[in-house]
Structure 1
Amino acid sequence: MMVRAVDDADRTWMRELLIERWGESRVVVGGVARDAAALPALMAVGGDGRPAGLLTYDTGPAGLEVVSLDALERGGGVGTALLAAAREVAAALGLRRVWLITTNDNVDALRFYQRRGMHITAVHPGAADRGRLIKPAIPVEGEYRIDIHDEIELALSAAPVRIRTGGLRDIPVVLALLDAATAWLAARGRTGQWGTEPHSTNPRRLAALAAWVPQGHLHIADLDGRPVGALVVGAAPDHVPAASGPELYVNLLVTSRTHTGKGLGGALLDHARSLALHRGLPLLRVDCYRGDDRALVGWYERQGFTATAPFTVTLPDGAEWPGQVLEQDLTSRV
């Protein structure tokens, strides 16, 4: 079996298959109606040259979204091959993750996707009911006689990065990442952000990590089984202006400098977004160093954040540390 991109000659077959499987080629997910037959797509072709399956997708700031996935026969590895191909397309396009939405009744699909490395990142109660207002043909009762009300979002990284909850054993790893990042900045004359002293000898940093871990705030990115990044999310620190409503705050983000260009920081921010949405928090905020050429502020802006309130912290030696708060409204994400 092989997987290839569809071409114009396949469009009629695509539309016919979608109508057969879904009642029409229009698909409503996340409150958005799209003609799946007009989207980019991947086709699985069997050894006899005949179509074996179809995956349609869309792309945007949230990554590559699988809009529909159909295997003509179950159990032959068609769905697995199509999902793997979609992951390769996402990576080639520079997108950080593959994601999709299914309904709460789709127990077989939930098992399939999770066994292939996808994680539930958000649940949208009542979303299927709202979708029915756009597409009345969406059934009220689905598989296993389960009433269809909600949408469930799943995702996996386009790169082989696994993000897990950190433990006490990960504290030395995080300190090593921070030390390496500080040395990297210092070697380039950028000592304003974190200074020159190692974090591993800073009692305040060690105490903060020791407090974050039991609360489940630390998350570790593993690449090929090795830790290459860390994220801490929780409540906003006292030195930044208060948010206007419920939020999740990024307290720490650090990645391995030897893996620059692999999208680790973006993958960790995607994880923070998913955590916020899963907890029903509509706002994600972070602060960073505002000095020098505002390079770090610019990086967060490229990740979809908007700079809001600047602030200044007076350090123990009397020096002033310029900071910038940035935020992202998660209710408007694609």
Structure 2
Amino acid sequence: MLVRAVVGTDLPWLQELLVNSWGAVHVITGENGRDADRLPALVAEDATGERVGLLTYELAATGLEIVTLDAVRPHAGIGTALLDAARAVAADAGCTRLWLITTSDNLEALRFYQRRGMRIRDVRPGAVQRARLRKPRIAEAGEFGIALRDELELELSLATPDACVRPGTLADVKPVLGLLDGATRWLAGRGRTGQWGTGPHSTNPRRLTAMMRWVPQGHLHVAEIGGAVVGAIVVGEAPENIPVVYEPELYVNLLVTDRARQGRRLGTLLLDHARVLAVRRGIGLLRVDCYAGDDRALVDWYRRQGFTPTETFTVRLTTGVDWPGQVLEQRL
């Protein structure tokens, strides 16, 4: 199987394939409508030179998005060859992830992509219904008669797995506080002071006391790259202001990563570590709370990590300001 970049003479064949597979060259995924015949593409050829597969894609800051993937012959390795080629393109471009959007009825695609290492990162209820307003020809039902309503985002991480997670020590307290200071400056620089304010954590006696208590209790765990602490997670018991659950749980009390290493999926790595700790202890519930103000971006991030929002709460700060919080949970 040969996979190559699309050339001008492929255009009539490419357009015909898109129309046969997608109903038109204009496809809608997520909130984006695009003419797939104008996108970069990869073409698969068999040993005779016949074109047997097509993958169109778009490169962006968030990675390489697969827009369409079609194999003329099923179960012949065409899709796998195209996916491997797209991964190579993404790696060459310095992308940290390969991703795509498919519909909830597309069971064959979900099987195919997950067997090749991709993971479901987001569920978008009603996305197909919204797309139908822009493209009325989208059918009401898809494969196996499943109603076409929702979309799923799948992702393959391309980040180099060079970070490791280990139990924290007292020597890690200072660098972890430095990460909190850096994250606070990063948020403040974007006008997002509601989450952690603007003051440093490293000189906050309350924060320092909490850190010194978490270490001997075994609650602090840090992510490390080349000997440098680049992230931290604290797991233990839920704070007093959080609604009680009457079952064993592991609670994420703190999660912070180095903002200079965005795109390295350090937050996901640390949450995966918390999941492993919970399972090893025979615990089936992982909970966390986060800032729920502004545009609820942090809540959405935890949703993409597989958490489900539950209760909301409010904390009255010493400044007299109410701090809005959201509790989220994940069943393991």
TM-score range, shorter chain: 0.5 to 0.7
Kept in 2: contact 1:56–1:66 (CA 8 A): yes
Deviations 1:254-304 (A, max 9, x none): 99xxxxxxxx752316849x99xxx9984149xxxxxxxxxxxxxxxxxxx
What is the identity, as a one-letter code, of the residue corresponding to 1:150?
D
3-state secondary structure, aligned to 2:154: strand
What is the identity, as a one-letter code, of the residue corresponding to 1:252?
T
Closer/same/farther in 2, CA of residues 206 and 26 from structure 1, 3 Å limit? same
Q: How many Å apart are 1:144 and its aligned residue?
A: 1.1
Aligned partner of 1:211 in structure 2 is: 219
Aligned partner of 1:138 in structure 2 is: 138
Kept in 1: contact 2:256–2:267 (CA 8 A): no
What is the identity, as a one-letter code, of the residue corresponding to 1:266?
G
Kept in 1: contact 2:214–2:234 (CA 8 A): no
Q: How many Å apart are 1:12 and its aligned residue?
A: 1.4
Q: How many Å apart are 1:175 and its aligned residue?
A: 6.1
Aligned partner of 2:24 in structure 1 is: 24
Kept in 2: contact 1:4–1:44 (CA 8 A): yes
Q: How many Å apart are 1:34 and its aligned residue?
A: 0.4
**CA RMSD, Structure 1 to Structure 2 (Å):** 4.4
Deviations 1:227-258 (A, max 9, x none): 998655799xxxxxxxxxxxx98523499xxx
Question: Equivalences for 1:256-267 in 2 at 5 Å?
Answer: 265-267=262-264
Q: Distance in 2 between matches of 1:116 and 1:220?
A: 28
Q: Distance in 2 between matches of 1:112 and 1:162?
A: 27
Aligned partner of 1:171 in structure 2 is: 166
Q: Distance in 2 between matches of 1:209 and 1:36?
A: 55
Q: How many Å apart are 1:80 and its aligned residue?
A: 0.8
Aligned residues with identical type, % of pairs: 40
Asked if residue 10 in structure 1 is aligned to residue 5 in structure 2, the reply is no
3-state secondary structure, aligned to 2:215: helix
For structure 2, the 5+ residue unaligned runs are: 177-199, 203-209, 236-252, 273-289, 300-332
Kept in 1: contact 2:5–2:42 (CA 8 A): yes
Asked if residue 112 in structure 1 is aligned to residue 112 in structure 2, the reply is yes
Q: Distance in 1 between matches of 2:201 and 2:214?
A: 18
Aligned partner of 1:251 in structure 2 is: 256
Q: Distance in 2 between matches of 1:177 and 1:106?
A: 50
Kept in 2: contact 1:27–1:35 (CA 8 A): yes
Kept in 2: contact 1:88–1:158 (CA 8 A): no
Asked if residue 73 in structure 1 is aligned to residue 73 in structure 2, the reply is yes
Kept in 2: contact 1:141–1:147 (CA 8 A): yes
What is the identity, as a one-letter code, of the residue corresponding to 2:297?
L
Kept in 2: contact 1:220–1:231 (CA 8 A): yes
Q: Distance in 2 between matches of 1:177 and 1:64?
A: 39
3-state secondary structure, aligned to 1:171: strand
Closer/same/farther in 2, CA of residues 83 and 136 from structure 1, 3 Å limit? same
3-state secondary structure, aligned to 1:15: helix
Question: Equivalences for 1:312-323 in 2 at 5 Å?
Answer: none
For structure 1, the 5+ residue unaligned runs are: 183-191, 195-201, 236-247, 256-263, 286-334
Kept in 1: contact 2:231–2:267 (CA 8 A): no
3-state secondary structure, aligned to 1:267: coil
Q: How many Å apart are 1:178 and its aligned residue?
A: 6.1
Q: How many Å apart are 1:160 and its aligned residue?
A: 5.4
3-state secondary structure, aligned to 2:100: strand
Aligned partner of 1:268 in structure 2 is: 265
Closer/same/farther in 2, CA of residues 84 and 219 from structure 1, 3 Å limit? farther
Kept in 2: contact 1:171–1:209 (CA 8 A): no
Q: How many Å apart are 1:209 and its aligned residue?
A: 8.8
Kept in 2: contact 1:177–1:254 (CA 8 A): no
